[in-house]
Structure 1
């Protein structure tokens, strides 16, 4: 049997995570070595300005992470975006916001499983895609089924392995540049800016891809109900994660850009980083980074699956999705059916959808969710609570407004396919909401979906 409610009729996820676990969780989901898989597309789309694109993305993420931190201190409840918007605005908009970011949680693990399986098949070409996906998805689903504490232990190991890959490349790249032209060769303008290829439109399009490298800090706040820390600390962990990741990712992209400008044209965009790794560290470094990407990529999908299952749990608990989404395992206190559903969707999606399509649509849901959370801070703190004096004017109005502005700018600069798929997803969510509210005549929070 699976429990459906506690003594008060409200379910609570087992609180087992520490602050350190939250930061590790965010770093795993964001992935300090994500630059290695994004470098080719990021460089191509931004016209060679990958580092600047990462900086533009960081601006949006810092302001948005601050908003998540504020809302986490007000609403320390699993579900993150959905819970915050429901509390500050209304349940209907909360549903749409949760639906938007659910697209991110659904697509991101699929994309990572597909990428990891594709790279693994380069090492083991005799294994078909359908089997490789099962090899990766089944153990990760088991860890989420057993509970967040077990996942946190695995995350720590995976993070260490990722950092080894990051610093190994940085060390080899720095050594290669120093050997080629002395220590002064480490600082080159063309690693940051190329006048002949610079374009604001290209930079913003690149920033929409760079946002992929930051998706994950909101996953920290989605685990707020798991944590043995306050909502304020959960938000602080999100900001810390963004800053650390931006430094690690930016340094990798900088060195790769410098090397690429010296090497010349890269043969294949998808494998651009591995060509760079082969130049600075030989085939051994290229193989090592490939293996680490395959192994740790599954940990990233693990984190995405965990956050997604908790969003489904929260929406099921509040009655805007079928109640079985909110059912917990009696021993592990995990949303077992939500975990299994995301595993099945992840497998089918990774099997059928091309990698190129994933890159185009994965950011849309996250950006829309980020915009909603920034609006929530203004609505809750600046308007409802009237906290407008001194620094509150900046933290409750200026900061979230800047977050909204940069996010909208990035959203408008996305590829058309991503925008179309994202809008269609929102329209489907609106249709579901209309049906559940009988033409918007009922309050979302008053619904009993089982009936």
Structure 2
């Protein structure tokens, strides 16, 4: 079962607090997501963008507190993360009516989490295809045929898979370099953007002053923007899947979860979104579908890479090197996307590995590589899946929206359920921290579910392609969940494995643990 000590995983505990935090930080990539999502954020309610990032970060912090509390209570979780927490929180209850549902609860959480973890790396691969194409078009404007984009995605997926294959130590070193590069690039862009505005007061900017950037200008716009912005801060939970490779998981995993989110989101996201919104003005122009000139956020909403366009304009005005400046920023985005895809792939395959060891997925997923001690079967499978999803998503914006929505649905489901799990886990624990084990998780559950409903509501009410995309994403998610339950019932019919634990299950577990203890003595 999942509720076993992490030393049964066969993985090497090599990570300290820095390693845990860095691996989580790589998934929350400020430079990459500012570049890749600024266009979609500029379409509607863009004047409330910074406030929406603030709201999204608060929701993420509430969820992170739930993850940190669970990681502190269950340091033996190994690679299981929420999958392990779901079983342990129910199994440790005294009441018979509770512990019988332990296996069912862990399976639902583990299977649903794969909607996020198996799709998200593919979304990053698709983003990579678009960024690489943007860079090459500096030199060859005709570049970007479907075959060329697909080749980029396949190659990128293979590179990320190869890094993950050799193990988390190699991944940690790569993520340290990646984080340093993207943070420096982010600081440079933000500082230059602010200086540019201060040196060019004659231009007409969307926000008249700094205070206007920070405050929301319309509640509906804030709500819409928040459903997008929440996607910027996912990934902090990836640290909880590294418990088996952490030297001191009870201390370092909870700290890594919170630290990664504070460093990346509270510090760097807040700064970069302030700078980017502060500098947007009427100087940024484009043509709409009817040939009319549009400016500011309207122009950004129709662009492939508005941050690159703004960087090019600023660079030309300030130091005569706009194209080079934009190209360098694009390169740092490429590097950041490597870390983001790598971190999510590492997290995903470790949850898959935990389920494979439990035979909740085919047992081959529970194998470790003889030399690298990594879940190599999962890495190979997820690399192939990421290449396929990326190749589909890179072809057009609707395809990319569909796969992103599928990943988002899985994210909100996983985060919401984990917050509920936290409440259950600490329900009968004496002297617990009320805020960290009840108030924060309860608010996190409500807000994550609200964000999920908000994404669906706004997509459907917009009609057109947005409506079609959400329907496709929702149907795929439902099919995935149905397939999971079919697998669960299939195991019961073929192997006789009960979906609900038998009445004497808990007594047997206690007896087994006692016998193991006596044998050890």
Q: Could you say if the C-alpha distance between residues 430 and 47 of structure 1 is closer, same or farther in structure 2, counting changes exceeding 3 Å? A: farther
- Structure 2: gaps (5+ residues): 91-101, 137-142, 284-295, 316-321, 394-398, 461-469, 503-521
2:16, 2:208 → 1: CA distance? 38
1:337, 1:392 → 2: CA distance? 40
1:243-392 equivalences in 2 (<5 Å): 243-246=262-265, 247-263=267-283, 264=296, 265-266=298-299, 268-281=302-315, 282-353=322-393, 354-383=399-428, 385=429, 387=430, 389=431, 392=433
1:115, 1:193 → 2: CA distance? 30
**What SS is found at the alignment partner of 2:23?**
helix
Q: Deviations over 1:357-415 (max 9, x none)?
A: 233232111111111111111111124x3x3x5x6222221111111111111111013
1:432, 1:73 → 2: CA distance? 32
* Displacement of 1:261: 4.2
* Displacement of 1:275: 2.2
Which residue pairs with 1:79 in the alignment? 80
Q: Could you say if the C-alpha distance between residues 9 and 140 of structure 1 is closer, same or farther in structure 2, counting changes exceeding 3 Å? A: closer
Q: Does 1:110 align with 2:156?
A: no
1:52-451 equivalences in 2 (<5 Å): 52-76=51-75, 77=77, 78-89=79-90, 90-124=102-136, 125=143, 128-181=148-201, 187-193=209-215, 195=217, 198-200=218-220, 202-246=221-265, 247-263=267-283, 264=296, 265-266=298-299, 268-281=302-315, 282-353=322-393, 354-383=399-428, 385=429, 387=430, 389=431, 392-414=433-455, 415-416=459-460, 417=470, 418-438=473-493, 442-443=498-499
- Structure 1: gaps (5+ residues): 1-5, 447-451
Contact preservation (8 Å) 1:374, 1:400: yes
Contact preservation (8 Å) 1:81, 1:373: yes
Q: Which moved more, 1:120-129 or 1:17-26?
A: 120-129
* Displacement of 1:167: 0.8
**What SS is found at the alignment partner of 1:374?**
helix
Q: Deviations over 1:41-70 (max 9, x none)?
A: 123244432211111211211111111111
**What SS is found at the alignment partner of 2:299?**
coil
* Displacement of 1:273: 1.9
Q: Could you say if the C-alpha distance between residues 30 and 445 of structure 1 is closer, same or farther in structure 2, counting changes exceeding 3 Å? A: farther
Which is greater in Rg?
Answer: 2
2:257, 2:6 → 1: CA distance? 30
Q: Give the alignment's TM-score, normalised by structure 2.
A: 0.77
The count of aligned residue pairs is 433
2:338, 2:185 → 1: CA distance? 15
Contact preservation (8 Å) 1:19, 1:237: yes
Contact preservation (8 Å) 2:191, 2:275: no
Q: Give the alignment's TM-score, normalised by structure 1.
A: 0.89
**Superposition CA RMSD, Å:** 2.7
**What SS is found at the alignment partner of 2:42?**
helix
